[in-house]
Structure 1
Amino acid sequence: MSPSNPELSQPPLRVVVATSNLGKVVEFEEALSGLGWQLEPLGDYSLPEETGSTYAENAMIKAAAASLHTGLPALADDSGLEVAALGGEPGLYSARFGNRKDDHERNLYLLERTRNVQDRRAKFISVLVLAYPDGHIEEYRGEVDGQLLEGPRGVGGFGYDPLFGLPDGRSMAQLSLEEKRAVGHRGKAFDALKKAHAHGLPPRPTGSKVN
């Protein structure tokens, strides 16, 4: 009789997604399929305010709070658009740029701020943090370089996707969901996490970081 494989008898790792948005939980489930993790919504717990000075700090604030509250590993992300001609704006404030109320208004404001600007370089950045109850933190980063378009293209995606031009001439909003996962900043961050945990890697020592 052959010895049993202990990995086959282990229950799936329960991981909380630090958000009250069920749509984001579904997005995380799809992005991390294959790891065998059981992703769960955070519920009614109110996350602390994002007061960090970097994407990683903001994601860590959310993930660490959710992990401490639930006693489970927790995932959180933070992302933004950085425009070279604006000194990296909107950056950390991408979701509330110019105090505009929605994506459409923020896109109009961004176009207004960059009218007649020659340097159109821009990049999307996403940082994904996995926090454990013992204080251990893992950080995964994804970036994609592009150009700020002079007007929106495409009807897919969300946020600044219609204004973000890729090297092939399309905007992020013109990509299929599969293409966006393959080349987008969030997809790259998720891929880095999946690669690190592809073989069931154990948690690193408390306080260590994986880039």
Structure 2
Amino acid sequence: MSRINHVWFDFSDTIATPDKHRHDELRYSVFARLKSKADSEQSRKEYDALLEKYGGSNSNVFVQTFGFDGSFWPSQIANEVNNGLYILIDKSVPDILMSLSKVVPISVFSYIDTTNAMKPLGINTDIFTNIFSASGLQYPKPHPEGYKKIIELSRLPADEILYIGDMEQKDIIPAKSVGLKTGIIWNTSDKADYKFRNFQEILDLFKEVIKPKDW
């Protein structure tokens, strides 16, 4: 088995989660406005059906339904992100990320610019080799474009890179399609190479099993 020499994380619902009420109100209202209809229960059900169809990606709903590029949804949510939309999934995450960064390079791939989201959460953004936003891509997750960019930015063979996310369809399947190793957290997936119940198990993996170069 190839050693893992770079770890990439999804952000939303992996490292932190958005306030559900604020997030829902924003995405449903934007969708209804673009559809020129009221933000009704029927409109919300339509959105939810599209969200399931397009792999759980809010960005992809707007790309596929209205023809926007991948920067549309991040631009809509940016103000909320800058005003504390996200909360940590687990309070231990900042310390574990710091510890992990000392033994292997770590990076973040998200549909939003997570720099402003992470600082209020106590996450030191200097520990990341790359903070990569999908807003600059033509196609959002689960399209493989962003995962190919991960390989380019890492400057490593794909099988030396571990990508960790919370959703099989949006994270695991497209990451594996370009050759990345994959890890699922907070959920289950038969397709993922690794399964983590929490962030401590990620750190334990590197301490006990897989040593990066120059350990």
* Structure with the higher fraction of residues in helix conformation: 2
Larger Rg: 1
Q: Looking at both structures, which has the greater relative contact order when contacts are Cα pairs under 8 Å and sequence separation is at least 6? A: 2
Task: Please indicate, yes or no, whether the TM-score normalized by the shorter chain is above 0.5.
Answer: no
With normalisation by structure 2, the TM-score equals: 0.27
With normalisation by structure 1, the TM-score equals: 0.27
